Amino acid sequence: MRRFPYWIALLGAAFGGLAGQEIPADRIVVSLARPDRGGTLIIQHDKGSISVVGSEASAVTVEAFRRGLSSPEAGDPDARGMKLIAGPPTGLRAVEADGTVTVTTDGRGQTLDLVVKVPRDFSLKLSTVHNGRIDVENVSGEMEITNSNGDIRLEKVAGSAVLSTFDGRITARFVEVTPGAPMAFTSVYGRIDVAFPADARMTVRMKSDNGLIYSDFGLKAEVPQTRRKGLTVPGGQSLSSRDWITARLNGGGPETLLKSFDGNIYLRKTK
């Protein structure tokens, strides 16, 4: 197995995307030996956000931004009127092995926002713990994403996903789903808003202990016999039940789980 570490430090790079700031950043470009075969991105982050965007590029580009340093005087009155030139290292590192790119940081207590560009056909294993959200756009692959204290958002994605957050919202918009692949979307204190193509075939199991469930699929819900009376879900009608609700989209298929303890659930058709 061959391993390829890459280090490129850029001082004075400006970025106005996820971080919303212009601050010095570390940047790494990882070349893939076989980009036509896709790959996997693994990030286990401690403090900060993760943004992943799929593109036509044949390499993986990773940038780390120190949050809150675009206005130095905000944290240091003695720096008023001055421009930040350098700060503690981010410890950004990326290692590639057989198509799997693993990204790590050592921010020494800093909040680091990571912005990553990958080839569109790429699988993701992402997690962050503090002070961040996770955004994914225009990626096709298997996605396993965990955010302990923030939101997860998928936009224009294809494939399958297992998403979980403790204190955050989940929003996902699929343009295509992998046939036969099970999925799960779970949050304790957040809403779950998921959209699938109108022709997606799956069996959806849903439960919200303290919220409502909505759908525009025109589905008919299956619930335990003791609570079955009147619990159908035509387009837009709300449903509240502390039991698991089962709905078969287009005749059913692999199981997709939607579970929230304290938030509403929205099952939509992709527009």
Do 203 and 246 touch, CB atoms closer than 8 A?
A: yes
Distance, CA of 113 to CA of 65 (rounded, Å): 5
Distance, CA of 197 to CA of 250 (rounded, Å): 11
pLDDT, tens digit (0-9, with 9 covering 90-100), for 146-196: 999 999 999 999 999 999 999 999 999 999 999 999 999 999 999 999 999
Do 240 and 210 touch, CB atoms closer than 8 A?
A: no
Provide the pLDDT confidence category of residue 242 given band limits of 50, 70 and 90: low
Average the pLDDT over 133-141 and give the result. 98
Q: Quote the pLDDT of residue 158.
A: 98
Only one residue has tokens 């879900």, namely 233
**Given phi > 0 = left and psi -120 to 50 = alpha, else beta, which region is 230?**
left
Q: Between residues 31 and 72, which one has the greater pLDDT?
A: 31
Q: Between residues 181 and 34, which one has the greater pLDDT?
A: 181
pLDDT, tens digit (0-9, with 9 covering 90-100), for 70-112: 544 445 778 777 776 777 789 999 999 999 999 999 877 889 9
Average the pLDDT over 215-244 and give the result. 58
Mean pLDDT of the chain: 83
Average the pLDDT over 13-38 and give the result. 66
Complete DSSP assignment for 142-174: EEEEEESSS-EEEEEEEEEEEEEESSS-EEEEE
Q: Quote the pLDDT of residue 188.
A: 94
Q: Quote the pLDDT of residue 23.
A: 47
The answer on pLDDT for 9 being more than 70 is no
Tokens encoding 263 = 């938030």
CB atoms within 10 A of CB 162: 17
Provide the pLDDT confidence category of residue 36 given band limits of 50, 70 and 90: confident
Distance, CA of 231 to CA of 243 (rounded, Å): 11
Q: Which of 113, 136, 133 is nearest to 124 (CA)?
A: 136
Q: What is the pTM of this model?
A: 0.82
Provide the pLDDT confidence category of residue 66 given band limits of 50, 70 and 90: confident
Q: Quote the pLDDT of residue 69.
A: 58
Q: Between residues 221 and 269, which one has the greater pLDDT?
A: 269
Range from 38-47, 77-86, 104-113, 129-138 carrying the lowest mean pLDDT: 77-86
Torsions phi, psi for 94 (to 5 deg): -135, 130
Q: Quote the pLDDT of residue 234.
A: 38
Distance, CA of 116 to CA of 54 (rounded, Å): 9
Q: Quote the pLDDT of residue 269.
A: 97
CB atoms within 10 A of CB 57: 15
Residues 6+ apart with CB under 8 A from 191: 169, 170, 211, 260, 263, 264, 265, 266
